[in-house]
């Protein structure tokens, strides 16, 4: 709980940074430093104080999202200055919970909320959490323990067998996690906030290439990387393939931090 409070408090430092009488590049650099500090703080706390890997992954994912939002604020309010220069606390609070990682002073809003839809999404999230927990306990943990034992004993054949045994259960857990997060949680936040843009994923299951899959399965992160990493690199004259490689590297590092540190 203390970590979450520290992360939120760090996020709201943007309110004061954007009001400093500094050049735009300095405002952006301060936001970049703040985002780095947020991720370092979360990583250290998870490494030393969170023994449960699942809880650690959640904490790090939250820190990565918050740090991305901080970078987005710094980009639009510092480097680009394409919108009003000083966001209000209300705007920052809305952006903190909004299911997007690209900052705007105003977003399209729905006319009303649907209590039935909110209830249905809450039930969906609870179902996916309970299903994933039960499924992991029943099918993943036994194979994981056997695989870890085989690794310690140097039994590579048994190790390979354990990895293959976990392939299908891991796919099921990933799919249910996708449903619970991208369809359940993000739509729940959008419904509560009346957030209008609810294009959180496209038909990634119909992808015909790996690049199409990465563009479609996680739209909020894809748009963040496109707006704040890929397009600035192209504007600076970087070849398209170099910009794509850097985007892939940034995404890979963030995924590695979220998965590796808790374990």
Give catalytic residues, as residue numbers. Answer: 255
Cα 145 to Cα 75, 86, 125, 171, 178, distances in angstroms: 45, 52, 28, 18, 25
Neighbours of 123 (CB within 10 A): 11
Q: What count of residues does the chain have? A: 263
Which residues in 5-17 are b (16+ Cβ under 10 Å) and which e? Answer: eebeebbeebbeb
Neighbours of 194 (CB within 10 A): 13
Cα 169 to Cα 18, 52, 161, 179, distances in angstroms: 46, 20, 14, 15
β partners of residue 109? 195
Cα 105 to Cα 77, 81, 82, 87, distances in angstroms: 10, 12, 10, 7
Dihedral, 31, 35, 37, 39 alpha carbons, nearest 10? 180
SS3 assignment, position 196: coil
DSSP state of 194: T
At residue 88, φ and ψ (nearest 5 deg) are: -85, 165
């Amino acid at each position: 709980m203390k970590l979450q409070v520290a992360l939120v408090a760090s996020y709201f430092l943007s309110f004061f940074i954007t009001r400093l009488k500094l050049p735009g590049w300095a405002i952006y650099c301060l936001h970049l430093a703040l985002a780095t500090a947020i991720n370092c703080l979360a990583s250290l706390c998870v490494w030393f104080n969170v023994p449960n890997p699942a809880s650690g992954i959640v904490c790090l994912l939250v820190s990565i999202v918050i740090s991305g939002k901080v970078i987005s604020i710094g980009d639009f309010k510092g480097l680009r200055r394409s919108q009003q220069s000083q966001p209000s606390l209300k705007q920052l609070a809305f952006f903190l919970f909004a299911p997007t990682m690209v900052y705007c002073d105003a977003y399209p809003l729905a006319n009303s909320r649907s209590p039935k839809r909110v209830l249905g999404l809450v039930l969906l999230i609870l179902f996916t959490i309970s299903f994933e927990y039960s499924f992991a306990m029943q099918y993943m943990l036994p194979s994981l323990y056997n695989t870890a034992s085989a690794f310690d004993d140097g039994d590579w054949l048994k190790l390979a067998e354990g990895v293959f045994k976990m392939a299908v259960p891991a796919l099921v857990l990933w799919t249910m996690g996708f449903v619970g997060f991208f369809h359940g949680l993000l739509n729940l936040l959008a419904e509560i906030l009346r957030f209008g843009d609810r294009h959180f994923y496209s038909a990634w299951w119909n992808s015909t290439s790996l690049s199409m899959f990465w563009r479609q399965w996680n739209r909020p992160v894809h748009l963040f990387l496109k707006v704040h990493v890929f397009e600035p690199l192209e504007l600076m004259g970087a070849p398209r393939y170099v910009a794509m490689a850097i985007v892939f590297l940034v995404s890979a590092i963030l995924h590695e931090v979220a998965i590796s540190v808790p374990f």
